[in-house]
Structure 1
Amino acid sequence: MLFLEKTDFLIRLVKQLAFAAFLNQVLRVGLTGTAT
């Protein structure tokens, strides 16, 4: 039970990190796009 909870937490954490990285990349591309 504890192992499953930890795995679920890790998966959620990875998803959040991936989403944050995706947003960061989109914002960076948007800023460079408007700058040029």
Structure 2
Amino acid sequence: MKILIIEDERHNANRLQAMVKEINPENIVCDILESVT
């Protein structure tokens, strides 16, 4: 169950990264997210 939850959170982070990339091409927030995950 824990593995599924971790995968879920990683998937959500990837989706958030994709949305942020469309809005902010500089990828500042994406770099922060990558360092967090």
TM-score normalised by structure 2 residue count: 0.61
Larger Rg: 1
Gaps of 5+ in 2: 26-37
Structure 1 vs Structure 2: percent identity of aligned residues? 8
TM-score normalised by structure 1 residue count: 0.62
Q: RMSD over aligned Cα, in angstroms?
A: 0.8
Higher helix share: 1
Flag as ranges the 4+ runs of structure 1 deviating above 3 A.
Answer: none
Higher relative contact order (CA 8 A, sep 6+): 2
